Amino acid sequence: MFDNPFEEFEEFFNTGSQKRFASTYYRPPMDVVETSEKYVVTVEIPGLSKENIKLVLEGNLLKIEGFRPRNPVCDEENMEVSFVHSEIHYGHFQRKIEFPHGMIDRDGVKSRYSNGFLIIEIPKKTPKEIEIELED
């Protein structure tokens, strides 16, 4: 039998053989931070062009979608290449974040992509003060 089954398992998944089971869909790491004035969403997606990223805000749901094309050197059609080790994710990704209902200012949303990080700032709605009129 196995001396250490966990070691055997880990060794299997740390080799190129894992590529047989690789998906063309992945979930990039993401942080969501809340301040008193806004939400800040940061997604780590290096190597993408702006054209391969799509942001959609529907109601209080933010959808972040994209596609990282496979490196041409590693293209599956290139039969001269075999993976020795692979940890980079390629293909489609999608992340969704649902914010509290009625709390975000949809018109003030800003996004930027810099150094492999997509940063989306979503301002919170400011409470509306209601003036009280006095009747005589």
Q: Which 3 state secondary structure label does DSSP give 105? A: coil
In this structure, is residue 131 part of a structural domain?
Answer: no
Full residue range of the structural domain in which residue 13 is found: 5-123
In this structure, is residue 135 part of a structural domain?
Answer: no
CATH of the domain at 55: 2.60.40.790
Strands of the 30-34 sheet, one edge to the other: 30-34, 38-44, 117-123, 110-114
* Entry pTM: 0.72
Q: What pLDDT sits at residue 129?
A: 85
Counted residue by residue, the chain has a size of: 136
In this structure, is residue 11 part of a structural domain?
Answer: yes
In this structure, is residue 132 part of a structural domain?
Answer: no
* Per-run averaged pLDDT (10 residues), the chain, 136 residues: 53 48 76 96 94 95 92 66 80 94 93 96 89 88
In this structure, is residue 128 part of a structural domain?
Answer: no
CA–CA gap between residue 86 and residue 17 (Å, rounded): 9
In this structure, is residue 46 part of a structural domain?
Answer: yes
